[in-house]
Structure 1
Amino acid sequence: MAKHLGGGDGIREQKPGMRERAALPHRPQHPDPSRPSARTPPPAPPGDGPDLAEPLTDRLRYLDAATRRIARGMTLDETLWELCRAAVPAFADRVFIHLYAPLPVGDENAPGPGVLRLHCTDRSRRREPGATAAEPPPADPRDLPAAESLRPAPGSPLAELLRDGRPALGDTPDVASAAAELLGTADTPPPPAPGPRLILAPLHGRTHALGSVLLTREPDREEFTADDLLVASQLATHTALGLEKAMLYEREAAVADTLQRTMLPPSLPEPPGVRLASRYLPSSRTARVGGDWYDAIPLPGNRVALVIGDVMGHSMTSAAIMGQLRTSVQTLAGLDLPPSEVLHHLDDQAGRLGSDHTATCLYALYDPVLQRLLVSNAGHLPPVLLRPDGGVEVLHAPPGAPIGVGGGGFESVETHAPAGATLLMYTDGLVESRDSDVVTGMELLCDRLRTAALGSAPLSLEDLCDEALGTLGPGERDDDIALLAARFEGLLPETVAYWYMAPRPQTAGQARRLTRRTLAEWGLDSLVETTELLVSEVVANAVRFATRPITLRLIHTDVLRCEVGDDSTVVPRMRQARLSDEGGRGLFLVDQLARRWGATRVSTGKVVWFEQPLPRTSGDR
């Protein structure tokens, strides 16, 4: 039996005279003139590189073409299918591939007790002379038949051959027994009789065994020779390396996809006065990880901050920087700063990250009470506003320098956002491609939105996002796409009550009277007693620290929300009051009686708020 030779070095280490025998096909001494040579398979289909099925006058030429074909596979199924195409019919008539389940990946995942599963079997047969096309392969390699799993017994001939790692001819009892054990799992015609028409080649990666490949020839074809073991060894080695590459690629892609998804909001909030929808599509040309992101951040007063950004590049580093910038934006938005100030501080923060990456960012602040929109832009594409009458307007906020450049100079632009209007924020992957520039892409986007708005029935927000993505056209995407859509509904003036009150001891009583009167007008008499108590406690606490007039706002939406603002930056904290304490129980009552409450620092001081559920009506269940 020939010595196992792996890679190109194995061929160079052959003994004198071996090169010539390995380079030429083995020919019978007395060929049968009535039929073509069994060692001369028909030509392979054109268009697949070197002709693998031409007469094997040079094994090196065949191996070069076969290994390049195997290396083309990017996934596990593609790699196995390319092995089948390279081996059949040029080298064998049938290929059976068994892989461990699960497959070991890396040193941290060593294989456990071996469980082999028939992963792939090529049922194609070599063509007869004069044929013009081979049997077409399945449309998807995963359509190849499967079989029950097999667990080789420790010390069995099959286990020993897999552990040894060298290909072997089926002309010995041990190899024949191992092949019969493998073929017994497949729903196939009876295997050929044990002998030199069978080669069993273990698939060994860099550190672990991955499975085996079984190559067989039909009786009308020449038997395998010792020289053929060299070919089988190379096929198995390159297949095993290709499988490891495919597994590592799939694992890295899964990690990248998980990283990208966890850095995006798992769900969008549902603030009163606005409806939100989003889309994220990774580039089909990258490892499914990039720097595009979007966010929607609820703020005091039922306002909401809408953010979209794009870190330059497609890599793990871009995704990591995106995560840091997104966290910074959330923190800055919580300070209730104007959009231009948010971008200014974000630019400062990006400069301290110590990275050469830059990013674009668009920050919009929507107030449903005033129905106004403030927009500030840091080198990003302008948003599109779809008005209730079907008009489409590109909101041109002065584009400042991208985040990380350090130019600053961001400005905020205010525009009216009436009820029924829709704002569309997006990254450049939506409107730019190799076949279309940004200007053309934006014109196409506006045309599609205008056409959709003039339809017979108004589109839902989800359908509108689908219409916007329709501007891509067929083909692969060159860049990631992030899309955030906001449909403004606003709050009716009669659902909001707002007062300024001087910070004096009598203010708490005044706040109770205003609250009682307003709730009676709204028909919320059942909430009067509790709300009066909570408003009195929060206003009394604000009076202690305020130096300027405090604000009281009641908002009646799907909940009753109360907001008390003052100019002090001291945020109250709930504490456990002792029995001897005269105070310190106000926030404890708020925590016990309100459904939710919180305190937020804003640019003018702080806002303490709480929410109560509305009473059930007769129609509620």
Structure 2
Amino acid sequence: MQPDVPPLGNAVWQVLLDGTRAGVALLDRELRFLYVNPALAEINGVDADAHLGRHLAEVVPGVDFDEQILRSVLADGVPREVSSSGQTRADSAHARRYWNGCCHRVTDDAGGVLGVGLVLLEVSEDRETQRELERARERLLVLDAAAVRIGSTLELEQTCQELVDLLVEVLADTAAVEVLSTGRRDGHRPPPHGTVRLRRAAMSARPALRAVVAGFGEPGEYVDYQPGSAIPRCLETGRPIRMNLLPDEELSRSAPNPERVAAYRAAGIHSALIVPLAARGEQIGTVTMIRAGDSPGFDDEDVAVAGALAERAAISLDNARRYTREHGIAVELQRALLAAPGTPNPRVDVASRYLPAGANDLVGGDWFDTLALPGGLTLLAMGDVMGHGIGAAVEMSHYRSMLRVGASEGDAPDRVLRRIDRLLSAGGAERPATCLLAIADPLRGAAWFASAGHLPPAVVSPDGRVQLLDVPPGPPLGADLRGSYETVYAPWPPGHTLLLYTDGLVERRSEDIDASLARLAGLKLPHADGPLDALLGQVVSRLAPDAAEDDVAVLAARAAPGHGPRREPAR
């Protein structure tokens, strides 16, 4: 049996309503205020008495509230949840305020409808927190996409294109990356004093704007920016520049030159965001994002996302730029070194071919050489220094120089390899190398081979058949490994071609080396007795028709028939 509950007087209810932080109101059947508590008066920024007899829209015209919900409650008596948003007459730190609550029908003791009771709680803080979380999640998704899509290669232009393509998907109607010009090799005179020259590396735009954007220029062009324009200011300050709904006068100052303004307006361009690209304390360029037509201006969140993307992309761009610089130096160095091989014996025809790996790979240490020896002999050498880049190219030169000194006396190939290996071990070689040596005697129709961990040589007969020679591989040079080298004799009949090569010609990452060598041995080369250059062209096109996974170096030598015998090299 429940205890008797004493009736609560109006004073108690008044204390309860006045003390709650929820906004409470009673509206009559015409939805005019009959009562508001102090909390709702504070929320609305209007005295409680000033509410009475007035409608919601009169008291808080800046609040979005669906009065139809209240009318439905009056009609059927079913309580309902309500939500609203906007700004009242009270000061607030929130750009937009939000409220949630409920409403119910109020009746008298006889069941007559008096009006609607309304209870509201402000949830602006919760909504802001939720929106921040949503924005953070969206930002992380964009950055995750950037980590996967930007910097997939070490090519500067490709990396720039990946960046602008992503920006057009998530932030802009059109985007462009421009990198600082070095002032050299651009085919132009130096820019006028005070202007800043950049090279447009990549552009992207939504389909509706592509034709218009193409009229502003193409990737690869150089653009001179007038003093004080937006991009020079961005580079000078190192901070983003946001320009929303600029008037013509200000847009004229921010554009590369004033003549661009009319074209921008014709395209519907109204807002821009420019973000600097810098990595490791060095400026790279800028990324410019444009919005046009019905797209809104850029807000603070756009600036934050664009800055995060630019910061991440700048590292990839700097890596690509450094790689491009090193790759170019390494290629030039290696080509310069390989462009001047030694001179073979006049009775030996020699041809060579060197193909650097694809653009995404650093140059390796592939090398070859020929050298005329006493007694009409010719030394043929093919080697591969381990590693890539400038260091491998420089070390390649070291090996070639050491070989020319070590082989000058005409010793057998195994003795030459042992001599070089001892010198390298004593001097502490930084990069081991494989090497295949051949001493060819065109007068005797014979050749002698020795290998330091290199792939076997081949002989191409005049009818185009390829035979691999069995040359036991000793340890690589400079590896400080115990082992021996062995000289192997092979006949070299007139019209037959000796073929020396590096692993880039035959090896494939997904293939066993025996299968790779079998492909070489299975070749049938037409017109194999023709010019050596043509023969090498056939070999390369059959085995490495596209960009190889590693550098390719090939050396071919053919003996001239009709000469007397010569002695075998000393052992």
Structure 1 length-normalised TM: 0.59
Q: Which residue of 2 aligns with 1:264?
A: 338
Q: 2:238 aligns with which of 165, 176, 181?
A: 165
Name the SS for the 2:494 alignment partner.
coil
Q: Find the counterpart in structure 1 of residue 274 from structure 2.
A: 200
For 2:146 and 2:515, the matched residues in 1 are separated by 46
8 Å CA contact retained: 1:168, 1:199: yes
Distance 1:269 1:187 in 2: 66
Are 2:154 and 2:360, in contact at CA under 8 Å, matched by a contact in 1? no
Identity rate, percent: 32
Q: 1:61 to 1:166 in 2, by over 3 A?
A: same
Question: Which residue of 182, 185, 188 corresponds with 1:102?
Answer: 182
Q: Is 2:320 aligned against 1:246? A: yes
1:62 paired to 2:142: yes
CA distance in 2: counterparts of 1:205 and 1:149, whole angstroms? 22
Say which of 181, 198, 205 aligns to 1:116.
198
Q: Deviations over 1:336-383 (max 9, x none)?
A: 222232122112112113247543322211223333322233333322
Specify the SS of the correspondent of 1:486: strand
**Is 2:518 aligned against 1:443?**
yes
RMSD over aligned Cα atoms: 4.1
Q: Does 1:224 align with 2:298?
A: yes
Q: 1:333 aligned to 2:407?
A: yes
Describe the shift of the 1:289–1:441 C-alpha distance in structure 2 as closer, same or farther (beyond 3 A).
same
Distance 1:396 1:244, change over 3 A: closer
The AA in structure 2 aligned to 1:342 is V
C-alpha deviation, 1:306, in angstroms: 0.6
Check conservation: 2:176, 2:200, Cα contact below 8 A. yes
1:92: which partner in 2?
Answer: 172
Kindly indicate whether residue 431 of structure 2 is the aligned counterpart of residue 431 of structure 1: no
Q: Does the CA contact (< 8 Å) of 1:69 and 1:82 recur in 2?
A: yes
CA distance in 1, matches of 2:375, 2:218: 60
Q: Shift in Å at residue 247 of structure 1?
A: 0.9
Where do 1:220-619 residues align within 5 Å? 220-267=294-341, 269=343, 271-284=345-358, 287-314=361-388, 317-355=391-429, 357-388=431-462, 392-404=466-478, 405=480, 407=482, 409-448=484-523, 451-453=524-526, 458-472=529-543, 477-490=548-561, 492=563
Task: Return the alpha-carbon distance in structure 1 between the equivalents of residues 375 and 262 of structure 2.
Answer: 68
Q: In 2 relative to 1, CA 477–229 (structure 1 residues): closer, same or farther, beyond 3 Å?
A: same
- Distance in 2, matches of 1:210 and 1:191, equals 31
Native 8 Å contact 2:174 2:205 kept in 1: yes
> Shift in Å at residue 485 of structure 1?
0.6
Conserved in 2, the CA contact under 8 Å of 1:419 and 1:489? yes
Provide the secondary structure at the position in 1 that maps to 2:340.
coil
- Residue 64 of structure 1, CA deviation: 4.2
SS of structure 1 residue aligned to 2:273: strand
After superposition, give the CA deviation of every residue in 1:527-579 in whole Å (9 maximum; x if it has no partner).
Answer: xxxxxxxxxxxxxxxxxxxxxxxxxxxxxxxxxxxxxxxxxxxxxxxxxxxxx
Structure 1 position 484, deviation (Å)? 0.9
Q: Which amino acid aligns with 2:452?
A: A
Letter in 2 for 1:82: E
Residue 331 of structure 1 aligns to a residue whose secondary structure is helix
- Tell me the secondary structure at the aligned position of residue 281 of structure 2: coil
Aligned-pair CA distance for 1:268: 5.9
Please say which structure displays the higher CA radius of gyration: 2
Judge conservation of contact 1:351–1:406 (CA < 8 Å) in 2: no
Q: Secondary structure at the match of 1:352?
A: helix
**Structure 1 segments unaligned to the other structure (5+ residues):** 1-14, 26-55, 105-110, 128-134, 499-601, 605-621
Cα pair distance change 1:442/1:67, threshold 3 Å: closer
Structure 1 residue 464: Cα displacement: 1.5
Q: Per the alignment, do residues 66 and 420 of structure 1 end up closer, same or farther by CA in structure 2, a change over 3 Å counting? A: closer
The reply to whether residue 176 of structure 1 matches residue 247 of structure 2 is: no
Other structure's SS at 1:436 match: coil
CA drift of 1:163 comes to 1.0
**2: CA distance between counterparts of 1:475 and 1:467?**
13
| Counterparts in 2 of 1:19 and 1:488: CA distance versus 1, 3 Å | farther
Q: Counterparts in 2 of 1:22-37, with a 5 A limit?
A: none
Change in CA separation of 1:84 and 1:492 when aligned onto 2, cut-off 3 Å: same
Decide whether the 8 Å contact of 1:200 with 1:215 is kept in 2.
yes
Residues 121, 144 of structure 1: 8 Å contact kept: yes
Paired residues, number: 430
The structure whose residues are more often strand, as a share, is: 2
Question: How far 1:246 sits from its partner (Å)?
Answer: 1.8
Q: What is the identity, as a one-letter code, of the residue corresponding to 1:216?
A: I
Say whether the 8 Å CA contact 2:180–2:198 is kept in structure 1: yes
